[in-house]
Amino acid sequence: MSGFTPLDPLLHSQLRLAVMSLLIGVESAEFTFIKEKTQATAGNLSVQLDKLSKAKYIEVTKAFKGKKPVTTCKITKVGVAAFETYVNALKGYIE
């Protein structure tokens, strides 16, 4: 039906999509875990997490585990909704 619904550019990015895909399945995840799973470089991941965070798609909290800094990410309700919308739009492209 409806032609081609625009795809949320924030989600239509390989790394950000992988991050969201990962986060949607867990309570929360640490930076290093996400980095490993997505095979991203730290710099790239840092930038993309920032974008998702600024869009309120995820919540990022910084803390210390012993003496080591730990960055933890959690998908928000807004993020879940955006992801679902994106997936539905995408289905219009790939049947």
Partner DNA sequence: TGTTTGTGGTTTATATTATAAACTTGTTTA
Partner DNA sequence: TAAACAAGTTTATAATATAAACCACAAACA
- Site for DNA, rule CB under 7 A: 9, 12-16, 30-32, 40-51, 62, 66-71
**Does residue 3 bind its own copies (CB under 8 A)?**
yes
CA 46, 50, 51, 55 dihedral sign is positive
Residues 6+ apart with CB under 8 A from 24: 75, 79, 80, 83
Nearer to its own copies, 38 or 48 (CB): 38
- CB count in 10 Å sphere of residue 83: 19
Nearer to its own copies, 36 or 61 (CB): 36
Q: Which tokens go with 59?
A: 């919540």
Judge contact between 30 and 72, C-beta under 8 A. yes
Identify which range of 2-10, 41-49, 50-58, 64-72 contacts its own copies by CB under 8 A: 2-10
Pick what 80 binds: DNA, its own copies, none; C-beta below 5 to 8 Å, kind-dependent. none
Rule CB under 8 A: which residues touch its own copies? 3-4, 6-7, 12, 14, 17-18, 21, 37-39, 87, 90, 93-95
